[in-house]
Amino acid sequence: MKQNLLLFTGFSILIMFAPQLLSGGYLMNVLVFVGINTMLAIALNLLLGYAGQISLGHAGFFGLGAYLSGILTTAYRFNPWVAMPVAAVVVGCMAGMIGFPILKLKGHYLAMATLGLGIIIFIVFNETVELTGGPSGLSGIPNLQLAGISFDSDVKNYYLIWGFTLAVMLFSLNLANSRIGRALRAVHDSEVAAQVLGVNARLLKVQIFAMSAVISSLAGSLYAHTMTFISPASFGFNFSIELLTMVVIGGLGSVYGSFLGAALLTLLPEILRGANDYDIIIYGGLLIVMVMFMPGGLVRGIPALYRKVIKQKGETGHA
Amino acid sequence: MNFKVISFVTAAATLLLSATVFAAAPIKIGALFAVTGPAAFLGEPERNSAKMVIDEINKAGGVKGRKLELIVYDTAGDATKAVQLATKLIKDDKVVAIIGPSTTGETMAAIPVAEKEHIPLISCSAGSKITDPVKKWVFKTAQNDALAVGRIYEYLQKTKQTKVSILTVSDGFGASGREQLKSQASKYGITVVSDDTYGPKDTDMTAQLTKIRGSHSQAIICWGTNPGPAVVAKNVRQLGIKTPLFMSHGVSSKKFIELAGEAAEGIRLPSGKVVVADLLSGSDKQKKSLLAFVKDYQKHYKAEGDHFGGHAWDAVMLIRNAVENGADTAAAIRDQLEKTKAFAGIGGSFTYTPQDHAGLGKDAFVLVEVKNKDWVIVK
């Protein structure tokens, strides 16, 4: 437990001083998105990695948060700080209600149902033109403000987003190590066994689904207020898959894994931009290699690789 | 020996350095195009055209002795990426102007960045929202949907076809077209008797068309980009509908005729002049630019230049003209752009004013018809 706290404190300090170490500019902007994606990956990981329930529709919850915040602040002149929790509560209740029937399904069927949910939400964004602005998007969303500071630059947004991300991380780490976390893992391994041990598996699944949706919605609101423009294209099926990839590449059932996955998938296209038209091939190839050789994700694969290298060095040293 | 090598290298390096000091630094222009993804049909010709014209300008000695440097990024049609890359162009690459993005959604997303950082942005997308209301740093080269709709309605009014059915695609392009089709109808004494939409990936529109057949309209107007309208054209044939079919400028390229095949015959649509460049009368001011563009594009890419590429060509030329008039900073380029008068480009004849950053009139469009797998001008 103490070790966990030490790790988190270290990580937080690293995040807080990163802007001083890195030369600002465009990288700051990318790191803002790493933060948002980390939040989303953690949300999905709680569901997929801990409770073992897949969702291919999480971009939908992310979009709902963004659109609710966007519409409430532009059309109804809500204060962004009010719109954000309102959006989160609405999305949470919705996810809870949908969760009850949907989470009865298992495996491929659950994947199909959540996929459908994501696509329906996407279609609603596109078709309700009067409300959402339709495919050409919703603009003029205000920036967040706190004590006279308007979060309108990349560096300010970096601290805003990472403040929230670190809070979500801390919350998730605590949740994972609590009774609920253990119950979730029990449901993950065997629902029947968990129920026999007195875990209300069905309710627990719905609760974690709603919790996951709330975190996604929060990320969506923050996205809307930092970008100040949203359009349905950012919340489509592709993004749901990208989130899933972040979670799997990073490491299922690990909060830091979600960060690694989100960081890698957000930064990789930037690094590969130099490769011009071949970037997509290299990107795809790297993902395949990683899944093949690090089936446990980066969070387990990197230490294993490190140990291997150390061991080899040791052997050659003796020879 | 070693000393000799070192001194040689040093001398060479000094020479190189001094050479770069003497030649003025190139003027950096950024470009954001959707080269991959669903809007690649826009982004690819745009990137090709922009690269082509920049190369030509540089080969001819640049502008006022300074070369232009184009930095192109692929947005994949994603608004988030468009914002990130616009930031990158401004903060890391230090460009003085941005061309693009390709779609209205991306442009709307990138506008706050350009406005905040005070960098002129010349969008290559059509949505009227981009320049209405006018934003200080934002211009565009693509023709407004409003003008295209006006062209069709004018023709319908002339031929006394007053009841129309509209069938639009549910994306940014279709939504904007639908809005214009509905709002301008009354001005031309036209009533919209049925209003339907289809999804961008739909492969069969017979349901909508069967409904339209029952509506007794005198013309069907379909608003979309490839491949949807080709499906509509084929479905109209299959259902034996005889009502004249109109399309938008979104399909005014050879690709559409290829996709729709036989079913394309007789379809009319408003188009930029580029597809009928050789048919224009000699007095047309744009003819020279158009023919040069088509010939160059054919030479460089072995393909037909379309008006999407033309939007990027126009944007580069507008910036070039601004630089020629002595502007080399972002603010000066913006001011010069606003003074552009009657520049005969590919999309039309551009005249920007402080009140109008779209710059085109109705003459930017001609009504064309498909005849024998080619375009002819409808008089």
Phi, psi of A68 (to 5 degrees): -60, -45
Phi, psi of A75 (to 5 degrees): -80, -35
In chain B, residues with a C-beta closer than 8 Å to the C-beta of A152 are 116
Nearest-angstrom CA–CA distance, B208 and A50: 46
Give the HSE-up count for residue B29: Cα atoms under 13 Å, Cβ half-sphere. 28
Please state the rounded mean pLDDT for residues A84-94: 97
pLDDT, chain B, mean:
88
Q: What pLDDT is recorded for position A317?
A: 52
Q: What pLDDT is recorded for position B38?
A: 78
Q: Given a cut of 70, is residue A274 above it in pLDDT? A: yes
Q: What pLDDT is recorded for position B10?
A: 59
Q: Given a cut of 60, is residue A174 above it in pLDDT? A: yes
SS3 per residue for chain A: CHHHHHHHHHHHHHHHHHHHHCCCCHHHHHHHHHHHHHHHHHHHHHHHHHCCCCCCCHHHHHHHHHHHHHHHHHCCCCCHHHHHHHHHHHHHHHHHHHHHHHCCCCHHHHHHHHHHHHHHHHHHHHHCHHHHCHHHCEECCCCCEECCEECCCHHHHHHHHHHHHHHHHHHHHHHHCCHHHHHHHHHHHCHHHHHHCCCCHHHHHHHHHHHHHHHHHHHHHHHHHHHCEECHHHHCHHHHHHHHHHHHHHCCCCHHHHHHHHHHHHHHHHHHHHHHHHHHHHHHHHHHHHHHHCCCCHHHHHHHHHHHHHHHHHHHHHC
Nearest-angstrom CA–CA distance, B379 and B376: 9
Q: What is the DSSP string of B148-194?
A: HHHHHHHHHHHTT--EEEEEEESSHHHHHHHHHHHHHGGGGT-EEEE
Q: What pLDDT is recorded for position A82?
A: 95
CB contact under 8 A, A136 and B109: no
Q: What pLDDT band is residue B171 in, cutting at 50, 70 and 90?
A: confident
Q: Kindly list the domain boundaries of chain A, sorted by start residue.
A: 2-236
pLDDT, chain A, mean:
90
Residue B87 at interface with chain A, using a CB cutoff of 8 Å:
yes
Q: Closest to B78 (Cβ–Cβ): which among A126, A233, A280?
A: A233
Percentage with pLDDT > 70 across chain B:
94
User: What is the set of domains in chain B, with CATH numbers?
Assistant: 27-144+286-364 (3.40.50.2300), 146-278+365-377 (3.40.50.2300)
CB contact under 8 A, B83 and A136: no
CB of B38 within 8 A of CB of B77?
yes
Residues whose CB falls within 8 Å of the CB of residue A276, separated by 6 or more in sequence, listed in order: none
Inter-axis angle of helices B79-91 and A201-227, to 10 degrees? 40
ipTM passes above 0.85:
no
3-state secondary structure of B5: helix
CB of B241 within 8 A of CB of B267?
no
Please state the rounded mean pLDDT for residues B271-298: 88
From first CA to last CA, the distance across chain B in angstroms is 80
CB contact under 8 A, A33 and B170: no
Nearest-angstrom CA–CA distance, B336 and B323: 8
Question: What pLDDT digit, counting tens, does each position of A56-71 carry?
Answer: 999 999 999 999 999 9
Q: What pLDDT band is residue A73 in, cutting at 50, 70 and 90?
A: very high
**Maximum CA extent, chain A:** 74
Whole-prediction pTM: 0.82
Please state the rounded mean pLDDT for residues B305-318: 91
Chain A / chain B CB contacts < 8 angstroms? 73
Q: What pLDDT is recorded for position B22?
A: 47
CB contact under 8 A, A25 and B83: no
Bridge partners, B221 (sequence order): B166, B246
Q: What pLDDT is recorded for position A20?
A: 83
Question: What pLDDT digit, counting tens, does each position of A158-170 carry?
Answer: 999 999 999 999 9
Q: Closest to A229 (Cβ–Cβ): which among B73, B91, B112?
A: B112
In angstroms, the Cα distances linking A10 to A7, A18, A318, B194, B359 are 5, 12, 35, 63, 56
Q: What is the DSSP string of B121-132?
A: EEE----GGGTS
CB of A278 within 8 A of CB of A269?
no
Q: What pLDDT band is residue B27 in, cutting at 50, 70 and 90?
A: very high
Nearest-angstrom CA–CA distance, A251 and A238: 20
Nearest-angstrom CA–CA distance, A24 and A159: 13
In angstroms, the Cα distances linking A252 to A60, A133, A166, B138, B237 are 21, 37, 19, 45, 53
CB contact under 8 A, A231 and B79: yes
Q: What pLDDT is recorded for position B170?
A: 84
Residues whose CB falls within 8 Å of the CB of residue A60, separated by 6 or more in sequence, listed in order: A117, A118, A119, A120, A121, A122, A235, A240
Nearest-angstrom CA–CA distance, B345 and B144: 15
Nearest-angstrom CA–CA distance, B279 and A34: 53
Sign of CA dihedral A226, A232, A237, A238: negative
Instruction: Report the amino acid identity of residue B186.
Output: S
CB contact under 8 A, A26 and B91: yes
Please state the rounded mean pLDDT for residues A101-110: 93
Residue B36 at interface with chain A, using a CB cutoff of 8 Å:
yes
Question: What pLDDT digit, counting tens, does each position of B232-250 carry?
Answer: 999 999 999 999 999 998 8
3-state secondary structure of B354: coil
Instruction: Report the amino acid identity of residue A277.
Output: D
Residue B279 to chain A, least CA–CA distance (Å):
35
What is the token pair recorded at A148? Answer: 């006279």
CB of A60 within 8 A of CB of A240?
yes
3-state secondary structure of B3: helix
Nearest-angstrom CA–CA distance, A47 and A45: 5
CA dihedral A259, A261, A265, A266 (to 10 degrees): 0
Q: What pLDDT is recorded for position A24?
A: 67
In angstroms, the Cα distances linking B228 to A214, B100, B135, B220, B256 are 37, 24, 33, 15, 10
Q: What pLDDT is recorded for position A250?
A: 94
What is the token pair recorded at B42? Answer: 């826009």
CB contact under 8 A, B87 and A139: no
What's the DSSP call for residue B24? P
CB contact under 8 A, B109 and A231: yes
Residue A303 to chain B, least CA–CA distance (Å):
32
CB contact under 8 A, B175 and A139: no
Question: What pLDDT digit, counting tens, does each position of B31-82 carry?
Answer: 999 998 878 888 999 999 999 999 999 999 889 889 999 999 999 888 888 9
CB of B368 within 8 A of CB of B254?
no
Question: Residue A99: which of A143, A55, A139, A59 has the closest Cα?
Answer: A55
**Nearest-by-CA chain B residue for A25:** B91
CB contact under 8 A, B80 and A29: no
Higher-scoring residue by pLDDT: B253, A9: A9
Q: What pLDDT is recorded for position B12?
A: 57
CB of B365 within 8 A of CB of B148?
yes
Q: How far, rounded to the nearest angstrom, does the alpha carbon of residue A72 sit from its chain's CA centroid?
A: 23
Q: What pLDDT band is residue A151 in, cutting at 50, 70 and 90?
A: confident
Residue B91 at interface with chain A, using a CB cutoff of 8 Å:
yes
Residue A251 to chain B, least CA–CA distance (Å):
25
